[in-house]
């Protein structure tokens, strides 16, 4: 197991977000177990090996337009070209195509195989047809245009998709275009999820005085489902060492990852810290970020020598989700075997000033919208407390204010991560 170094919490200082992120990512090992799936069931899965194209796509030179096919050599550059049309039309999917002599053209449809010797198509809207033939005005077309060459999309024997690719709609179509009906994918990462806290109630239970509903399990479950991992929902665990230990044993026995929220702060009723610390090399970090300071990560020991990766997120609902996006999301992709890509972000002008002190990262909730006169602007949503989930539900983006950054003036550009990009 990797050496994660002494706990910075013990040393009493806060860890910058980038340092904490790098530590998490540096110690992970992706799963390697694979399975074979029919293409139709592979959406969202990770390729276990590259997909090598067994054929050229397209398999033949073909027409990119509806029009007339002819020889590019017949095209005059200084005057109109007149070609003699054949009576035939070449349709897509036709098994044979006609012989077309020089000086002639044949009507052709998009996707139809180019007849032998022909290399150019004039789109129907760029020519004029009368009794004298097919007229192409000088200068409207160059030889070779509107022809899709064989193998243009994918060449036979070449990798069409790399190992680690997550299969999305375009990848599904691409694999189908190769005629492949099955794929080798990695098994899905399994994540055990539970919430801790005596004050929590599950949906359907009455809300006793002083209690709140467990919302984190639903926001985190949704985030995990979007990520495409398998979720083992272990429900609510009270702040009780025996219950917590039993749940951890089960989580480690059945899952690759244990994702919890609550109980990692310094609160009196939080036993989670001590229990986790007793299992393996979990590190407790006080991260220099807002929201979401406490965060624990590391390998957890379970029964029978099993190990699982722990991500223990803070309990405050906004902090739980923000720390998930900042630390857990990319790490789970890496563990899944996916080639991680940085979150798609953009820069937007802040409508108002934002107070921020250097020395910690802040993730505020904002609404990004098109600015008058082009570009994007962002305004913060209401109260930004770590427990105010409404600020996040109203937002469509996280405004990311970097560690060293100070206050933002109205009109300054800030970095934003769009929730819709936060798969
Ligand atoms: P903790 O990190 O356990 O000290 O919790 C911090 C705050 O988040 C407390 O106000 C908790 O009541 C709240 N909290 C913890 N877990 C959840 C949860 N699963 N759903 C909603 N709120 C929670
Ligand atoms: Mg708690």
- Quick: pLDDT tens for 136-183: 999 999 999 999 999 999 999 999 999 999 999 999 999 999 999 999
On the question of pLDDT at 374 being above 70, the answer is yes
Give a yes or no: residue 247 inside a domain.
Answer: yes
Residue 264: its pLDDT value, please?
76
Q: Which domain does 111 fall in, by range?
A: 62-148
Give a yes or no: residue 242 inside a domain.
Answer: yes
Q: What is the CATH number of the domain that holds 133?
A: 2.170.190.11
Tell me the per-residue pLDDT of 258-278, one tens digit each, with 9 for 90 and over: 999 998 776 655 677 788 888
Average pLDDT over residues 362-388: 92
Q: How many CA atoms lie within 13 A of 16 on its CB side?
A: 10
Q: Distance between CA atoms of 75 and 81, rounded to whole angstroms?
A: 6
**Cβ of 200 less than 6 Å from ligand 1:** yes
**Cβ of 214 less than 6 Å from ligand 1:** yes
Average pLDDT over residues 66-94: 95
Give a yes or no: residue 3 inside a domain.
Answer: no
On the question of pLDDT at 81 being above 80, the answer is yes
**Cβ of 56 less than 6 Å from ligand 1:** no
Give a yes or no: residue 157 inside a domain.
Answer: no
In angstroms, what is the span from residue 381 Cα to ligand 2's centroid? 26
Same structural domain for residues 43 and 68? no
Same structural domain for residues 125 and 169? no
Average pLDDT over residues 54-71: 96
Atom of ligand 1 nearest to the CA of 270: 3
Same structural domain for residues 39 and 176? yes
* Ligand 1 mutation target, pool 209, 212, 385, 388, most atoms within 8 A of CB: 212
**Cβ of 67 less than 6 Å from ligand 1:** no
Same structural domain for residues 182 and 247? no
Same structural domain for residues 300 and 217? yes
Cβ atoms within 10 Å of 208's Cβ, excluding its own: 9
* pLDDT-wise least confident of 3-17, 35-49, 64-78: 3-17
Same structural domain for residues 223 and 330? yes
Residue nearest to atom 10 of ligand 1 (CA): 316
Asked which of 296, 316, 335 is the last residue of a domain, the reply is: 335
Residue 104: its pLDDT value, please?
98
Residues 6 or more apart whose Cβ sits within 8 Å of residue 112: 62, 63, 90, 91, 92, 93, 94, 97
| pTM of the predicted model as reported, rounded to 2 decimal places | 0.87
For β-strands 257-261 and 307-313, DSSP reports them as parallel
Average pLDDT over residues 38-55: 97
Task: Specify the number of domains making up the chain.
Answer: 4
Same structural domain for residues 215 and 329? yes
Asked which of 281, 308, 335 is the last residue of a domain, the reply is: 335
Tell me the per-residue pLDDT of 90-137, one tens digit each, with 9 for 90 and over: 999 998 889 999 999 999 999 999 999 999 999 999 999 999 999 999
Residue 387: its pLDDT value, please?
79
In angstroms, what is the span from residue 291 Cα to ligand 1's centroid? 13
* Ligand 1 mutation target, pool 316, 322, 389, most atoms within 8 A of CB: 316
Q: What is the CATH number of the domain that holds 225?
A: 3.40.980.10
Q: What is the CATH number of the domain that holds 365?
A: 2.40.340.10
**Cβ of 302 less than 6 Å from ligand 1:** no
Same structural domain for residues 134 and 180? no
Give a yes or no: residue 81 inside a domain.
Answer: yes
Same structural domain for residues 199 and 131? no
Give a yes or no: residue 155 inside a domain.
Answer: no
**Cβ of 292 less than 6 Å from ligand 1:** no
Asked which of 297, 314, 335 is the last residue of a domain, the reply is: 335
On the question of pLDDT at 197 being above 70, the answer is yes
Same structural domain for residues 395 and 409? yes
Give a yes or no: residue 340 inside a domain.
Answer: no
**Which residue has tokens 């020889």?**
71
């Amino acid at each position: 197991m990797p050496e994660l170094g002494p706990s910075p919490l013990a040393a009493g200082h806060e860890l910058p977000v980038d340092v904490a992120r790098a530590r998490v990512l540096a110690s992970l090992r992706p799963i390697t177990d694979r399975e074979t799936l029919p293409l139709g069931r592979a959406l969202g899965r990770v390729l276990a090996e590259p997909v090598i194209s067994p054929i050229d796509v397209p398999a033949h030179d073909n027409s990119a337009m509806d029009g007339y096919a002819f020889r590019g050599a017949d095209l005059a550059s200084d005057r109109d070209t007149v070609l003699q049309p054949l009576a035939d039309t070449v349709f897509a999917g036709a098994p044979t195509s006609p012989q077309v002599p020089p000086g002639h053209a044949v009507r052709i449809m998009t996707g139809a195989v180019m007849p032998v010797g022909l290399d150019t198509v004039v789109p129907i809207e760029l020519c004029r047809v009368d009794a004298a033939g097919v007229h192409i005005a000088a200068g409207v077309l160059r030889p070779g245009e509107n022809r899709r060459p064989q193998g243009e999309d994918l060449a036979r024997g070449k990798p069409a998709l790399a190992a680690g690719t997550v299969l999305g709609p375009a990848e599904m179509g691409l694999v189908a275009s190769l005629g492949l009906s099955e794929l080798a994918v990695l098994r899905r990462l399994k994540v055990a999820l539970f919430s801790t806290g005596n004050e929590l109630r599950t949906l359907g239970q009455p809300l006793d005085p002083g209690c709140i509903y467990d919302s984190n399990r639903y926001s985190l479950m949704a985030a995990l489902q979007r990520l495409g991992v398998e979720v083992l929902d272990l429900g609510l665990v009270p702040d009780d060492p025996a219950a917590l230990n039993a749940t951890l044993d089960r989580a480690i026995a059945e899952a690759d990852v244990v994702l919890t929220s609550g109980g990692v702060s310094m609160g009196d009723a939080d036993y989670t810290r001590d229990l986790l610390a007793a299992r393996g090399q979990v590190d407790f970090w006080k991260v220099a970020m807002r929201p979401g300071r406490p965060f624990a990560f590391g390998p957890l020991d379970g029964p029978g020598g099993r190990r699982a990766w722990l991500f223990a997120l803070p309990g405050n609902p906004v902090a739980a989700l923000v720390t998930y996006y900042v630390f857990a999301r990319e790490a789970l992709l890496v563990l899944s075997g996916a080639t991680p890509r940085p979150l798609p972000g953009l820069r937007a002008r802040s409508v108002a000033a934002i107070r921020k002190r250097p020395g910690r990262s802040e993730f505020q909730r904002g609404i990004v919208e098109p600015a008058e006169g082009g570009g994007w602007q962002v305004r913060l949503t209401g109260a930004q407390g770590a427990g105010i989930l409404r600020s996040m539900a109203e937002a469509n983006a996280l405004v990311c204010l970097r560690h060293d950054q100070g206050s933002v003036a109205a009109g300054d550009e800030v970095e934003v991560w769009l929730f819709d990009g936060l798969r």
